[in-house]
Homo-oligomer: A and B are copies of this chain.
Amino acid sequence: MASYATWLESSIDGTRLELDRLQSMHAGRPLLVRYDLERARREVRREVLAGRERDLWRYGELLPVQRRENIVSLGEQATPLLACPRLGAQLGLEHLTIKDESHLPTGSFKSRGMALAVSRAKELGVTRLALPTAGNAGGAAAAYAARAGLECYVFMPKDTPLVNRLEAGLHGAKAFLVDGLIDDCGKVVREGAEAMGWFDLSTLKEPYRLEGKKTMGLELCEQLDWTLPDVILYPTGGGTGLVGMWKAFDELARLGWLEGEWADGRRPRLFACQSAGCAPIVRAFDAGERHALRFENAATVASGLRVPAAVGDFLILDAVRASGGQARAVAEERLLPWMFRASSAEGLGICPETAACFAVLEDLVNEGVVSPESRVVVWNTGAAQKYVEALEAPLPELPALGDIDWAAL
C-alpha cells in the first residue's frame, strides 16, 4: 500500500512544492496534496480494500504518509453511517442517515485530521507542535502528539467548553487560555513560532489535516457501495471537512471508483451550516463573494462553529457553489432544542454544531429545496457528551423510597 502522493500544489495559483520537506502555506493560502491518480487508476482496484483493516489507513494510496511505520494511530476505525427513519419522518424525509464521528478517538472528527498531520509531522522530523483551537481539535492534537511522543502546545479561548479545556492537559499537552477567539489564538502560534521552534498545526496552514478529513468522503462513498448521497449537510467552522470531502469525490472520480451517474460527474449538493452567531461563510455566499470578511463578535454555543475567519474560505465557497448547494445559517436559539430533539429521537449524541444542520435541514425541506425522497447525510462531528455546558440542566431528586408518588414520576 504505497502512497501515490507526488507534490504539494498551491490552492491559489497552482505553484508546486516538494512533498519531502516540511511545508506550511504558499502566498498565505493552503497547499493541497496531489497524487498520481492516472497511475493509481491503472494499478489500484477498489477491490483491494476488502482485505484491509476498516480504518482510515485503508486508503493509504490516497494518503500522504510515505512509510507505514510512521503512522501515528489511536484506532481510527470507519464511523457508522446510521439510517434514522424516526427523525427522518419528523422532518418529512424518507432517507435520512447520520454519519456519526463521535466514535473516533477523543470523540470527534478532529482525530482524522490530526492522525494525518501528526503522522506527517513525525515523518518529517518535527519534535514540537502548536495549534489554536475553538473546541475539539486541541484534545485530538494533544492525544496524537502523546501517541507520537512529540511536544504539543495548545491555545484556546478562555470560554472554550470545559471538556475541551481539560482533555488537552490530560494527554500531557501544554495548554493555555487566551482572552480572544480562535484567530487570536492563531496569532499566538504565529508569533511564538520563532522563539519556540514549534510547527503550526492550524487547519489548512499545513497540508495534511485536510487529507485526514478527506477520508470522510472516501469512507462515505465506500459505505454507499461507491455511490454518493443526493445531499450532505455539514457544520462549518474552518470548513476543512467540506473541502476534504469535495477533494475525495474528485479523486475517486479520477480513480474510476465511482458508480453510475456519480462516475459521470454528478455530485452531492453540499450545505455548509452555521449559526447566525458566527456565519462568515453564509454572509460571503449570500453576497456572491469568494472570500469572507471576519465575523465580529462571534458567539455561539456550538464552539466548533465559532471560527470568525477561515483561511480556506474560498475553497469552501467554491465547493458549495460547484455542488449546487448553499451556505445557510440558523438562529442560535434553534441549536439546543435541535440537539435534544435529534438526540432523543434516535439515541445518537448529536453535538450542537450538528444541531445547526438539523435546523437548516428543517428549513430546506419546508422550502422545497430538499425533496422528501432525497438521500440525505448529516454529519455528526463529535460526541454530545463533550458539551457539558450545553447539556446542563438539573435532574429532579427522588424523595425517600416510601414517599415516592409513582403516578407522578
Q: Does A146 contact B (CB under 8 A)?
A: yes
A167 vs B178: C-alpha distance in the bound complex, in angstroms? 29
Judge whether A401 and B187 touch: CB under 8 Å. Answer: yes
Q: Is A293 an interface residue when CB atoms closer than 8 A count as contact?
A: no
**Is A179's CB within 8 Å of the partner chain B?**
yes
- How far is A48 from B153 in the complex, measured between Cα atoms in Å? 47
For A177, give its contact among B139, B165, B166, B397 (CB under 8 Å). B397
Q: Beyond A385-B385, A397-B177, is A192–B406 a contact (Cβ under 8 Å)?
A: yes
Q: What residues of chain B lie closer than 8 Å to A393, measured between beta carbons?
A: 166, 169
B74 touches A80 (CB 8 A): yes
Q: Is A264 an interface residue (CB 8 A)?
A: no
Residues of chain A at interface, number, CB under 8 A: 78
Check A143–B349 contact: CB distance below 8 A. Answer: yes
Of A103-111, A214-222, A314-322, the one contacting chain B is: A103-111
Q: Is the CB of B395 within 8 A of A177?
A: yes
Stretch with Cβ within 8 A of B (4 or more), from A33-41, A155-163, A370-378: A155-163
Contact pick for A196, options B145, B391, B392, B406, CB 8 Å:
B406
B391 x A170 contact (CB < 8 A): yes
Q: Which residues of B contact A105 (CB under 8 A)?
A: 100, 102-103, 347-349
For A176, the chain B residues whose CB sits under 8 A away are 395-398, 409
Q: Which residues of B contact A75 (CB under 8 A)?
A: 79-80, 82, 100, 103
Q: Specify the chain B residue showing the minimal Cβ separation from A173.
A: B344
Could you tell me which A residues sit within 8 Å of B by CB distance?
A: 54-55, 73-75, 77-80, 82, 86, 100, 102-107, 139, 142-149, 153, 155, 158, 162-163, 165-167, 169-172, 174-179, 187-188, 191-192, 195-196, 339-340, 343-349, 383-386, 388, 391-393, 395-398, 400-401, 404, 406-407, 409
